[in-house]
Structure formats: C-alpha cells, structure tokens
Amino acid sequence: MYQDAQQLRSSPSVDPRELRECDRVDVEADITFFSEDNFYQGFSENISEGGLFVVTYLPRKCGDVITVRFTLPGIEHTLEARAEVRWVRAGIPDRHLPPGLGVRFLELSQADRAIVERFVRKREPLFFDE
C-alpha cells in the first residue's frame, strides 16, 4: 500500500494527492514528540485523520516509531499517539518549506481519534479537485 518515499519523489508522474489516504488540512498545533533517545517541542503544519506533519530538524528515519503529543486550536485536551515516520523532508528554503517528518498514527485512543476527525471535517482540505 505504501511506497518508499524516495521512489515517490523520483517519479514525476505521481500526483501527491493520489498518495494520501485522507485529506490534510492546515493547522498550527503545538506538538511534542519523543522516542527512546530524543525529545522535541515545536509545531505541526498540517494534519489528517491518519497522521500529521511535524516540523523538526531532528533526524529520524522512515520506519522509526515515536510518540507525539499535540493540541489543536480551540481544543484544550492534549492528544497523544504512537506514530510511525513515513517520510522525511529536508528543508527547501527557496520554496519556504521547513524540514520535518510525515507521521502516520499507529495508536490513537478512540476519544482522540474522534477529536481529530471532527477537527479535520470542519476545515477545508489542502488539495481541491479541479
């Protein structure tokens, strides 16, 4: 179902919208993530029902499992999920894209999943059908 991120980048015929299982929406969310050897506080750029993008300079590899804690705008509850790094982006300064990690939620409580789903449904997706 998932392809290697390097293969996806090298294939000019792949439309990124076709690779997403869920629509992503813009969000500036406070986020903390940690693994056995790292701890980081920062923010996310976008979120979907299946995962989120974490802005970070900390190196992680595809397949690494981390724990993310985050809050969403307008919601006081802190959400927590175990997540897998699915892809890594080096910063792209000329396009104003910060470095970071695309992570997929592996374990998210039913209550937290419902919060994410409601939040995403209330916002416009990043990609629109033309």
The Cα–Cα gap between 113 and 76 comes to 15
Sequence-distant (≥ 6) Cβ neighbours of residue 35 within 8 angstroms: 60, 64, 65, 66, 67
Which range marks the domain in which residue 40 is found?
A: 5-121
The pLDDT of residue 116 is 94
45-97, pLDDT tens digit by residue? 889 999 999 998 887 899 999 999 999 988 999 999 999 999 998 877 788 88
What is the rounded average pLDDT for all residues in the chain? 78
Q: How many domains does the chain have?
A: 1
What's the pTM value of the predicted model, to 2 decimals?
0.74
| Closest by CA position to 83, among listed 39, 50, 56, 115 | 50
- For residue 130, tell me if it sits in a domain: no
Q: How many CB atoms lie within 10 A of CB 79?
A: 23
CATH of the domain at 112: 2.40.10.220
